[in-house]
């Protein structure tokens, strides 16, 4: 039997797999795989890949049906700088990560200062600030590793 297929059948000592398991945790910041002996498994994206997906994480998507442009814009700028940093090395990568950190810090500050309203909740502000903190920490670590 294979944990990555359903309705496996064995007839006359010959086993065949059924339909393949769909492994998707709905989080764009993880890699979803299926391991034959154990089934679905997830692992976090690494390094630069993670920097370009965090804003789409379920925590933000669930808490923020809409996000004011004044907060979304610096988040997007940070992600763009993080993506560019992945394509270069050395000093230029460190500079781009510094730009990303600054943009994410700005997004968090704006989220903290934006008053709650119909289109922006305290839960959304908290999700944005938490995501920004994680992004900043990861970008700082990447800068140190370069």
Q: What is the pLDDT of residue 8?
A: 77
Residue with the bigger pLDDT between 75 and 49: it is 75
59-91 pLDDT per residue, tens: 777 888 888 899 989 988 998 898 898 889 899
In this prediction the pTM is 0.70
- Angle, helices 69-86 vs 122-145, to 10°: value is 20
Distance CA 72, CA 65 (A): 12
Q: What is the DSSP string of 23-57?
A: ---S-TTEEEEEETTTEEEEEE--HHHHHTTGGGS
Q: What is the pLDDT of residue 116?
A: 83
Q: Considering the chain, what is the average pLDDT of its residues?
A: 84
């Amino acid at each position: 039997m294979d944990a990555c297929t359903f309705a496996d059948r064995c007839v006359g000592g010959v086993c065949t797999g059924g339909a393949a398991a769909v492994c998707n945790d709905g989080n764009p910041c993880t890699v979803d795989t299926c391991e034959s002996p154990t089934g679905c498994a997830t692992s976090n994206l690494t390094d630069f890949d993670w920097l370009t997906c965090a804003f789409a994480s379920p925590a933000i998507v669930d808490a923020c049906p809409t996000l004011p442009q004044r907060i979304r814009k610096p988040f997007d700028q940070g992600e763009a700088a993080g993506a560019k940093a992945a394509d270069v090395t050395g000093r230029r990568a460190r500079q781009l990560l510094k730009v990303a950190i600054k943009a994410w810090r700005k997004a968090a500050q704006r989220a903290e200062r934006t008053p709650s309203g119909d289109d922006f909740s305290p839960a959304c502000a908290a999700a944005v600030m938490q995501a920004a903190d994680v992004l900043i920490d990861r970008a700082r670590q990447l800068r140190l590793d370069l």
